[in-house]
Amino acid sequence: MPDPGDRFAAFPSRVRGRLQTFLEALDDIAEEDLILFATKPLDVAAHDAAREAADDAAREHHWEKAIAGLRELAFDWLAARISANYRATWFGEGAVLSRRLSTRPLDLQRIAQSLADAFRAVAMWDDLGDGSRDELMGRWAELIVEA
């Protein structure tokens, strides 16, 4: 999986620790279960408001670039999971039959966007109200243990 490297560097240690714990927990999710975590928002306006609240808080801390880096990390993580589902064969690339990550474009888009929102919420955890945090995390919140 991708190394978060400098993407966590702009955040204080408590945020870096929470992000690292979340990233490690992601690796334990079975491929076929990823789509179950990537639920669609029931109230798009509330979801957009939660994103805006997180982005406002990020601006207050001057973490805009760091939050953008987390979005890239979410996409890189998903791309690594997709790559892990394929292997080279004598006849080109073939799917590994033991893994079942949906490669339907809409599923991948939903997983990527949902995961990016979850990373945003994990980073801005201390600055978000419960409603905004819950809205952005969705089912990914199962991977977070509050300290």
Give the model's pLDDT for residue 147.
45
110 vs 62, 96, 120, CA distance in Å? 28, 23, 15
pLDDT digits (tens, 9 = 90+) for 17-36: 999 999 999 988 988 888 99
User: What's the pTM?
Assistant: 0.84
Residue 78 token pair? 């998903």
Residue 21 token pair? 């714990």
**Partners of 94 in beta bridges:** 87
Give the model's pLDDT for residue 93.
53
With tokens 């979801």, the residue in question is 47
Cα(42)–Cα(46) distance, rounded to whole angstroms? 9
Give the model's pLDDT for residue 79.
86
What is the pLDDT confidence band of residue 10, given thresholds at 50, 70 and 90? confident
Cα(63)–Cα(126) distance, rounded to whole angstroms? 14
> What are the domain boundaries of the chain?
32-79+99-147
Whole-number percent of the chain with pLDDT over 90: 54
